Amino acid sequence: MTANAPLLELRDVVPSFEETGLMPAPYNLRIMPGECAVIDCRDFERAAMFADLCSGMIGLTQGSIKFMGLDWSALHDRQLNALRGRIGRVSRNSSWLNLFGTHLNIMLPHLYHTTDPFDNVVLHATELGYRFGLPGLPTSAPDRLSGADLARAACVRAFMGRPDLLLLEDISDTLPEENILPFLEMMTTARDRGCGVLWFVRSAAAWHEYRKAVNIHMRLLDEGLFPMRVV
């Protein structure tokens, strides 16, 4: 990735309608390193689909998506997976494997993509857990955790391992009030080291406190992605 190059760039992207249900309209978005883009979207499914689109998981009928200067469509499987390993993601649904304990779920991407010593990974995850109000790393299966603890664990997993891009789906309804500030602090720390943030929100209240630090505000509707003025 060259200096001053966009971290994530969607240029006239038309996603496959059959695959996504997203309107086949051209989507344009450009996020520079350290920038934060807030995308208003009332539909969780559509937001998740757009996050998938940014992760190169959806076929395009037109346009290109580049992440860290690399076109998703030009990469092989191993390169795709390695690049996706640079993305931290908070998902609302279906992101937890009940085959493993929550601690392994949290550390799984990091253990898969890196060779960091296991103890260091555990230490890092535990520290992040403390920051988000967990008493440590939860070892029980994800389906045994409360919604609030799962939201905390989702934050820990997303911020693990210094990601280059954060795709944050809206979990403001499940994340406890006392964890909002650590969440915003972690986001700012990540942005300070050059991580871009794409934050999907359902209402203005979710990002009200962070409004001044947001660079891009857009709205994702049936008809496409529309820029809004950041106030």
Partner 1 sequence: MTDTPTHAPDHVAPQADPMAVPQPDHDGRLVHLLRRFAPWLAALGRLTRHQVRFALLVIGSGWGVLRESMRPNSWRRPVIYEFRATLRQVVSGGFLSIVITATLTGLMVVSQAAYWLGYAGMAQMTGSILVSVLVREISPILVGIIIMGRSGMLSLTEIGMMVLGGEVRALQARGIDPFLALVMPRTFAFTLGGFTLGMIFAVVSLLMGFVVAHSTGAITSSVWTFFFNVLGAMTTWDYLIIPLKFVLVGFFVGVGSCVSGLTVGSNDTMATIMPRGFARGIMLVLVVNILFMLDF
The contact set with partner 1 (CB under 8 A) reads 51-52, 55, 57, 77-78, 80-87, 89, 91, 93-97, 99-100, 104, 108-109, 111-113, 118
Nearest CB to partner 1, comparing residues 78 and 208 = 78
Name residue, tokens 């006392």: 178
Residue-by-residue DSSP string for 113-127:
H----HHHHHHHHHH
Nearest CB to partner 1, comparing residues 51 and 218 = 51
Please state the closest distance from residue 108 (CB atom) to partner 1, in A.
5
What's the CA gap between 39 and 48, in Å, rounded?
12
Neighbour-count burial of 166, counting CB atoms closer than 10 A to its CB (0-12 exposed, 13-18 middle, 19+ buried): buried
Q: Please provide residue 116's backbone torsions phi and psi, each rounded to the nearest 5 degrees.
A: -55, 140
Collapsing DSSP to helix, strand or coil, 3 comes out as coil
Please state the closest distance from residue 133 (CB atom) to partner 1, in A.
23
Please state the closest distance from residue 91 (CB atom) to partner 1, in A.
6
Nearest CB to partner 1, comparing residues 82 and 181 = 82
Kindly report the number of other CB atoms within 10 A of residue 31's CB atom: 21
Please state the closest distance from residue 36 (CB atom) to partner 1, in A.
20
Chain-centroid distance of CA 86 in Å reads 10
Please state the closest distance from residue 132 (CB atom) to partner 1, in A.
19
What's the CA gap between 125 and 103, in Å, rounded?
8
Nearest CB to partner 1, comparing residues 84 and 152 = 84
Nearest CB to partner 1, comparing residues 25 and 57 = 57
